[in-house]
């Protein structure tokens, strides 16, 4: 039956023809599957090149907000930024964040929907409870509570309230005031200070580090996201970082940092080799989870005239030491902390205590 093999197949054909047709259909089918798979991969890659990964999912309710805003040219930058966010493909849109409840201090009727312009940690907490709880217990959330301090008196009273609004509050946070119909008082908002006091009673704002509307993890991991506030003569952390070996290496290798990886694939020493502020103070390691309390890994507070150890400082020091050890040997880390602690102690004894009116230590005379 050799000669019939090449013949075109017919449904009621020879049994042996049927078998080879089956093979042909199989190969054809497999080619089709492969073709479709490659097309899908190509499609996803094109989408990713546009920046966001997956396509935004827009519900009918959110379509109303977006269509009108686009037609009236209001906040289009924000809408386009949202489209690239991790929220957009999950259908977390305008309404999911801006919709308000009746009775909310900052709620107002807006084109048939009750909304609020502010989206506070309390709103994000509905979906991100762990992050919001950790942030709420941190010093960051309390950063606007220096109102009674001498610094605040110098700023607000001696220099004038504008210094408070455009200066201190930009980093520390304002006390947001709501006027008629949910309008926000211009002396108190826009503001994304870290300890902002919100009308709903919550403290701080998540968009201090996660700029809206992309809420990108990659952006929050950039040293500049912290350096926006941690800069200048009183707290030169960003300057110190960029002049350190860590900062030098980060700058030289920025494109290898994989800043957009999810937290479980952004482990120091393994997925990337040069630490940013987030690495040491917040991010996950092989044995620690991400923390939104930036105090969890520091053992001193250097802010008072005399630096003091925090409560449970050994546990906090252990957590930081473990971060360093993801990249370094234990020995170098231990020696480093010996240097740090003796530097702080020397400063306390030689300058802090005498400046505070305590006795100058004999040993240093
Ligand atoms: C029919 C048109 C229209 C629709 C629908 C609409 N908006 Fe607006 N929105 C506007 C305009 C115009 C402004 C500019 C400020 C103003 O006039 O209120 C605005 C402003 C805003 C502001 C900023 C207010 C401020 O104080 O800075 C927010 C937030 C907002 N809209 C959210 C939404 C959300 C969320 C939805 C969907 C539930 C929505 N909008 C639906 C037209 C619309
Ligand atoms: C994940 C939550 C989230 C989503 C989703 C979201 N927003 Fe916002 N939006 C915020 C936050 C946070 C702010 C800053 C408010 C504050 O300071 O508390 C804001 C501010 C705004 C403002 C006023 C400030 C500005 O830059 O003009 C407008 C207008 C606005 N959003 C519109 C929208 C629209 C339209 C959508 C839907 C495409 C949307 N938002 C989706 C969280 C969100
Ligand atoms: C209605 C639920 C919901 C609300 C409200 C919400 N989120 Fe999300 N958020 C999600 C989901 C779901 C994801 C996960 C997306 C994924 O894994 O792809 C996410 C992801 C994120 C991410 C990770 C983004 C990345 O690049 O991987 C950040 C940061 C974030 N949200 C911050 C916020 C902040 C800040 C607010 C408040 C202003 C907020 N979210 C409000 C549900 C929400
Ligand atoms: C560029 C951002 C920025 C500005 C502007 C700013 N601060 Fe600060 N402030 C910080 C940071 C960051 C810290 C924490 C420093 C640290 O821990 O090393 C801080 C710490 C403080 C502290 C110590 C808090 C404590 O818990 O002991 C006080 C008080 C203070 N600032 C008052 C002010 C006043 C008053 C103004 C306005 C005249 C002001 N700051 C302006 C960023 C800023
Ligand atoms: C001090 C800056 C800062 C503030 C304020 C902040 N975040 Fe983050 N957030 C980060 C950084 C940095 C990361 C990335 C951590 C890592 O390396 O995985 C992150 C990651 C996240 C993620 C992604 C976690 C995951 O599962 O991958 C979510 C969700 C998130 N933040 C929500 C919030 C919410 C909600 C708030 C407000 C309550 C908030 N963040 C306030 C800096 C901040
Ligand atoms: C919007 C301004 C702002 C941003 C952004 C910011 N901080 Fe802060 N940070 C502050 C202020 C203000 C304080 C002092 C709070 C106080 O004691 O009143 C502070 C305090 C701290 C402390 C001391 C905490 C403690 O418990 O004593 C650490 C550590 C810290 N920040 C790290 C970071 C890191 C890391 C980032 C970026 C991922 C960051 N901060 C982003 C303003 C900011
Ligand atoms: C290689 C790890 C590492 C990096 C990177 C790093 N830090 Fe730190 N940071 C530390 C250590 C260690 C301490 C002191 C810990 C202690 O008190 O035991 C500290 C202390 C601090 C403090 C406390 C100051 C005070 O007043 O008590 C702040 C604020 C801070 N860092 C902010 C930052 C910022 C902002 C960046 C990025 C510009 C950054 N750090 C980068 C490890 C790091
Ligand atoms: C993500 C990896 C990583 C982490 C986490 C990390 N480092 Fe580093 N560190 C480096 C790299 C890379 C260098 C540069 C090495 C060189 O000079 O060749 C460096 C340099 C140093 C140096 C300078 C060494 C020298 O000989 O000049 C010291 C000290 C140091 N790190 C201490 C620490 C401490 C303390 C911590 C934790 C608070 C820490 N590092 C966390 C990667 C890391």
Span 28-83, pLDDT tens digits: 666 566 666 655 544 444 444 344 468 999 999 999 999 999 999 999 999 999 99
* pLDDT tier at 21, thresholds 50, 70, 90: low
Residues near 326 by Cβ (< 8 Å), separated by ≥ 6? 267, 268, 269, 270, 285, 286
Average pLDDT, the chain: 87
Kindly report the number of other CB atoms within 10 A of residue 226's CB atom.
Answer: 22
Q: Residue 185's closest CA among 95, 121, 122, 117?
A: 117
* Average pLDDT, integer, range 151-164: 70
Closest approach atom of ligand 2 to CA 83: 38
What's the token pair of residue 253?
């290798």
What is the distance in A from the centroid of ligand 6 to the CA of 315? Answer: 20
For 184, how many CA atoms within 13 A lie in the half-sphere containing its CB?
17
Whether pLDDT at 26 is above 70: no
* pLDDT at res. 13: 42
φ, ψ at 121 (rounded to 5°): -55, -30
* pLDDT at res. 2: 42
Indicate if ligand 8 lies below 6 Å from the C-beta of 327: yes
Indicate if ligand 4 lies below 6 Å from the C-beta of 169: no
* pLDDT at res. 361: 57
Indicate if ligand 6 lies below 6 Å from the C-beta of 167: no
Indicate if ligand 8 lies below 6 Å from the C-beta of 267: no
Nearest residue (by CA) to ligand 5, atom 30, is 131
User: Which of 166-170, 178-182, 263-267 is modeled with the greatest confidence?
Assistant: 263-267
Indicate if ligand 5 lies below 6 Å from the C-beta of 229: no
* pLDDT at res. 20: 61
What is the distance in A from the centroid of ligand 5 to the CA of 292? Answer: 6
Closest approach atom of ligand 8 to CA 326: 5
């Amino acid at each position: 039956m050799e000669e019939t093999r090449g013949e075109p197949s017919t449904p009621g054909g020879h049994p042996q023809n049927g078998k080879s047709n089956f093979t042909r259909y199989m190969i054809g089918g497999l080619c089709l599957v492969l073709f479709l798979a490659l097309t899908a991969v190509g499609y996803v890659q094109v989408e990713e090149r546009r920046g966001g990964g997956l396509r935004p999912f827009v519900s009918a309710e959110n379509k109303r907000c977006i269509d009108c805003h686009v037609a009236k040219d209001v906040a289009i930058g924000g809408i386009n930024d949202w489209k690239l966010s991790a929220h957009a493909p999950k259908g977390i849109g305008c309404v999911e964040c801006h919709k308000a409840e009746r009775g909310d201090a900052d709620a107002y009727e807006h084109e048939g929907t009750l909304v609020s312009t502010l989206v506070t940690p309390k709103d994000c907490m509905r979906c991100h409870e762990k992050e919001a709880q950790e942030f709420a217990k941190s010093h960051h959330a309390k950063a606007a509570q220096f109102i009674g301090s001498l610094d605040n008196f110098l700023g607000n009273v001696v220099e004038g309230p504008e210094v408070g609004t455009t200066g201190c509050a930009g980093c520390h946070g304002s006390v947001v005031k709501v006027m008629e119909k949910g309008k926000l008082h211009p002396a108190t908002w826009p503001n994304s200070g870290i300890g902002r006091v919100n009308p709903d009673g919550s403290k701080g704002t998540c968009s201090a580090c996660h700029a809206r509307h992309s809420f990108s993890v990659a952006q929050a991991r950039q040293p500049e996201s912290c350096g926006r506030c941690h800069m200048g003569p009183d707290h030169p952390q960003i300057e110190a970082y960029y002049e350190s070996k860590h900062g030098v290496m980060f700058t030289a290798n920025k494109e290898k940092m994989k800043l957009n990886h999810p937290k479980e694939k952004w482990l120091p020493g393994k997925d990337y080799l040069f630490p940013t502020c987030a690495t040491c103070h917040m991010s996950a390691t092989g044995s620690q989870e991400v923390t939104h309390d930036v105090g969890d890994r520091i053992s001193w507070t250097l802010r008072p005239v005399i630096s003091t150890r925090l409560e449970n400082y050994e546990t906090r020091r252990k957590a930081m030491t473990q971060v360093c050890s993801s990249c370094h040997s234990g020995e170098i880390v231990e020696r480093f902390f010996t240097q740090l602690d003796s530097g702080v102690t020397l400063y306390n004894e030689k300058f802090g205590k005498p400046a505070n009116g305590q006795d100058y230590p004999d040993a240093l005379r």
